[in-house]
Amino acid sequence: MKRYYFYDRDSCEMCGSPSAGHKVKGLRLNTSQGMRPRKKTGIAVAVQQCSECGLIYSNPLPVPMEINDHYNVPPESYWREGYFEVNKDYFSNEIAIIKKLGAFQPGMKVLDIGAGIGKCMIALKQAGLDAYGFEPSKSFYERAISRMGIDPARLKLAQMEDVDYEAGMFDMITFGAVFEHLYHPAEMLSKAMNWLKPGGLIHMEVPSTKYLMPRLINVYNRLCGTNYTTHLSPMLSPFHLYEFSVDSYKKAGEKLGFEVVLHYFEVCEILYFPSFTHPFFKRIMKATNTGMQLMIWLKKK
């Protein structure tokens, strides 16, 4: 059984505005709420949305007593065998964006935060870049070295709260699908900015506050007579603690010394809805920028 302590929030983690004035969107259980939410029981936390920057977060924040209770699982339990193959196009879109932004230099140092089994580090190396990374899950870290051939001198086993690098060491940092798992995102972003050279880039993929499907499921939950929400999943897989808006980053950038230079939305997969409805919803999300994932690029001033 997972054990938690609960951290009360008095302000937004990204912009700092007082949480007392933030909207409560509903309660999130520590289990799937399913088609019959009124029959579900469990531990629930409130989910709020910042009135200043739009950040969606749980309050209180549930923090596991042991980080491995969430993330120390075999990589094979997540994906089929093909996941361990590095497709030639892996991270190619991001490489193209680096070039488009005029920041690509052969041999430039790039840090992969939450490196997983090392696929991004391999893709970066194949593109002629000098790749480093760290990964908090021991099982993923071990597979990166033993199965993917990652150099252990370039990959650390550590949480972001505990790891450190020299100031200005990197030309670029990528978070991938990581930032939504960090307990104090702006604090960790400030730390990453210190590792980045002036003019350097940070790339992130994060859950979007504008994602259409949770909003539809929230309506269903209200019709069922509950105040549950499907935003976030702080105590069940995939353990998302935040959903972000572009304004979340713009407000944080005013304090931390960076600017948003590019952003776009990706539809990604659709869960919990019949497959025949997916083409319809995908067209709507593409047309209205209400897809699941916010892709955002930051530049250090």
Whole-angstrom distance, CA of residue 71 vs CA of residue 67: 7
Please determine, for residue 13, whether its predicted confidence score (pLDDT) is greater than 80: yes
pLDDT in tens, 177-211: 899 999 999 999 999 999 999 999 999 999 999 99
Average pLDDT, integer, range 273-285:
94
Please determine, for residue 79, whether its predicted confidence score (pLDDT) is greater than 60: no
71-75, 214-218, 224-228, 235-239: least confident range: 71-75
**Could you give the 3-state DSSP secondary structure of residue 175?**
coil
pLDDT in tens, 89-129: 899 999 999 999 999 999 999 999 999 999 999 999 999 99
Whole-angstrom distance, CA of residue 90 vs CA of residue 82: 13
Cα atoms in the Cβ-side hemisphere of radius 13 Å centred on 90: 16
**What tokens appear for 124 in the block?**
């970066």
- Write down the H helix ranges in 72-184: 92-100, 119-126, 138-146
Q: For position 57, what pLDDT does the model report?
A: 98
Place 272 in a pLDDT band, splitting at 50, 70 and 90.
confident
Q: For position 66, what pLDDT does the model report?
A: 77
Q: For position 233, what pLDDT does the model report?
A: 94
Please determine, for residue 248, whether its predicted confidence score (pLDDT) is greater than 80: yes
Whole-angstrom distance, CA of residue 294 vs CA of residue 245: 8
Place 85 in a pLDDT band, splitting at 50, 70 and 90.
confident
Please determine, for residue 78, whether its predicted confidence score (pLDDT) is greater than 90: no
Please determine, for residue 1, whether its predicted confidence score (pLDDT) is greater than 70: no
pLDDT in tens, 19-59: 999 999 999 999 999 889 999 999 999 999 999 999 999 99
Q: For position 73, what pLDDT does the model report?
A: 66
The rounded mean pLDDT for the chain is 93
Question: 130, 284, 274: which is closest to 215 by C-alpha?
Answer: 284
Please determine, for residue 149, whether its predicted confidence score (pLDDT) is greater than 60: yes
120, 90 Cβ separation under 8 angstroms = yes
Whole-angstrom distance, CA of residue 147 vs CA of residue 213: 37
Q: φ and ψ at 216, to 5 degrees?
A: -70, -40
Q: For position 271, what pLDDT does the model report?
A: 82
The beta-strand segments (E) located in the chain are 4-7, 23-29, 44-49, 56-59, 61-64, 109-113, 130-135, 155-157, 170-174, 196-207, 242-243, 258-266, 293-300
Q: For position 80, what pLDDT does the model report?
A: 63
Q: For position 191, what pLDDT does the model report?
A: 98
Q: φ and ψ at 52, to 5 degrees?
A: -95, -45
Whole-angstrom distance, CA of residue 56 vs CA of residue 244: 7
